[in-house]
Homo-oligomer: A and B are copies of this chain.
Amino acid sequence: MANAFDEFKVHSVAEFFKKNRQMLGFSGRVRSLTTVVHEYVTNSLDAAEEAGILPDISVEIKEFPNEHYVVKAEDNCTGIPQKHVGKALGMMLAGTKFHRYMQQRGQQGIGASGCTMFSQITTGKPVHVKSGTGNGKVFECDLFIDLKTNQPKITNFVEMPGDFKGLSIQAEFAEVKYDKSTHSVFEYLKLTAIANPHAQITLIEPTGEKTVFPRSTNQIPKRPSEILPHPLGITTNDLIEKAHHSVSRKVGSFLTTEFSRVSNDKIKEIDGIVNEGKAPDNPEYVNFEKKPSELKWPEAERIILAFQKVKWIAPSTDSITPIGKEQVEKSLRNILNPEFVSVTERKPKVFRGGVPFMVEAAVAYGGQAGTKTANGIGGDIIRFANRAPLLFDGGGCATTEAVKTIDWKRYDIKDFENEPLTVFINFVSVYVPYTGAGKQAISLEDEIIQEIRYAVMEVARDLERYVHGKFRAHERANKIKAIMRYVKQLSADLPDLAGMGKPDQLEAKLVKLIETKYMQGELEGDEEEGDENGEVKNGKPEGKDDAEEEEQ
């Protein structure tokens, strides 16, 4: 064992992810290339949103011998200041997003640096960067990571005057492959376009073919705002850490300034609960007048317990921006050309006590909805988190779990695996609990799964009415067809049978009789089925969750 400990070493996070690159999404040739594009494009979309810019993003992929590919991703956003470029693209766990409580696509400070690492371990080449922040100067440089230390190295730095505003990254990769399969760059960008109708995205494929996913709205999404954490969403450890770094003079004012929804009245209420029946000399007494830096763990724990007993206003949800029902419908109609669409945008909820989130869900039926299967067409789930497509690891994702546990037969969908059906889910939150650093699946947390189920069940009810109506219409059409078959014969035979002369246009009259009288009665019975015209329904009135039955 002494032997084993002779080998004791400390490793950098870059070495960790170099060895376990599959954890960042670098496994499989096609997936690896999609991961690269995913990281660059989500960064561009985040930058655009924060700066209030309509993003113009282009991705160009070129193929070279020995299965080497060069990816060039360029945007029209705000660039990266020279001071930060090394760490932003050449150091893992560095960035602007990790610590902010705000809806963003990226949140880890790993993605783009992970691409730099992947480029250098497969081709030995640095990444080439060009950045213009709009101050009349543009710089370019080459950049790599010292994997042993997780430190950026910049070479060939040049600065020049120029109008280019935005960021352009060019990197070479091996062990990747370009194709147009389900998990390809093409599919990824198509889904990105669905969820980001304000973005113009251009793809130039290795063949030279150029595809533009055009902007379908000029409305810039609301700038995401940073919010203070809600008392119900923090742990004792968070409270201690914040307290010990606080500049507030008292525990009380620390709580009101660094958390949302904490008023002076609430402080009194919490003080009352924590110190109930305790004299100030009781060792369990918590003094809300003392310095936050003096707060001890057991005291913080008692405050956290008191938080659970107080009635709170829900967290502010200003920070959460969905795509919007109209946009989701428009996107799904454009791309899938379905017979029927229904979209719902649920009210914001919270998970883990205080992290705000919301779910948008839609269902599209018929047309190009669904996915190709061995047997034909089957149900498909398209998943997004903060508008970024989730293409991989669907098996362990809260979205899939929610859809899978719905009893689709209740909604006239006999077999989800065999219907032309696409379920769309967008999970929006200031913090997405991804299962891995590759950010492809949402952790199976009950509150999240439940809310996604409610959302999907809501649109499934609309779908049921449509499918049921479609089935009835089909049956009725068959019945009428059967009757009509006898009309001609009847109109010829009737005069003889009745022993009278042949009246004018007997056949036409009979047809009209059937069409008006007979079908009217049938139709009346169908009235309440309604909504066969494929219009988007606005879903159920809010607050109906309690009435929603549980399927088992």
Copies of this chain in its oligomeric complex: 2
CB distance B91 to A1 under 8 Å? no
CB distance A8 to B96 under 8 Å? yes
> Within A87-109, which residues are at the interface with B (CB < 8 Å)?
87-88, 91, 93-96, 98-100, 108-109
Give the chain B neighbours of A11 by CB distance below 8 A.
Answer: 93-94, 98-99, 109
A51 to B50, CA, bound (A): 56
Residue from B2, B9, B109, B435 in contact with A95 in the complex, judged by beta carbons closer than 8 Å: B9
A486 at interface (Cβ–Cβ under 8 A)? no
A16 at interface (Cβ–Cβ under 8 A)? yes
Return the chain B residue nearest A393 by Cβ.
Answer: B396
Give the chain B neighbours of A311 by CB distance below 8 A.
Answer: none
Stretch from A20-28, A410-418, A468-476, A506-514 at the B interface: A20-28
CB distance B393 to A10 under 8 Å? no
Please, what's the 1-or-0 string for A65-88, where 1 marks a CB less than 8 Å from any CB in chain B?
010000000000111110110011
CB distance A8 to B91 under 8 Å? no
A186 to B298, CA, bound (A): 31
A124 to B236, CA, bound (A): 8
A47 to B300, CA, bound (A): 38
Return the chain B residue nearest A125 by Cβ.
Answer: B297
A298 to B11, CA, bound (A): 27
> Within A101-132, which residues are at the interface with B (CB < 8 Å)?
108-110, 120-125
A204 at interface (Cβ–Cβ under 8 A)? no
Give the chain B neighbours of A441 by CB distance below 8 A.
Answer: 396
CB distance A122 to B10 under 8 Å? no
Give the chain B neighbours of A235 by CB distance below 8 A.
Answer: 121-122, 175
A283 at interface (Cβ–Cβ under 8 A)? no
A117 to B112, CA, bound (A): 27
CB distance A12 to B236 under 8 Å? no
Looking at the assembled complex, report how far the CB atom of A24 sits from the nearest CB atom of chain B, in whole angstroms: 11
Return the chain B residue nearest A120 by Cβ.
Answer: B237
Report if A13-B393 is in contact (Cβ < 8 Å); known contacts: A23-B436, A50-B1: no
Could you show 21 A-B contacts with beta carbons less than 8 Å apart?
A2-B133, A8-B88, A8-B94, A9-B95, A9-B96, A9-B98, A20-B434, A22-B433, A22-B443, A23-B436, A27-B433, A28-B444, A121-B236, A121-B237, A123-B297, A124-B297, A124-B301, A125-B297, A395-B400, A396-B441, A435-B436
Q: Which 5 A-B pairs have the closest CB atoms?
A: A395-B395, A1-B78, A124-B297, A121-B237, A436-B436
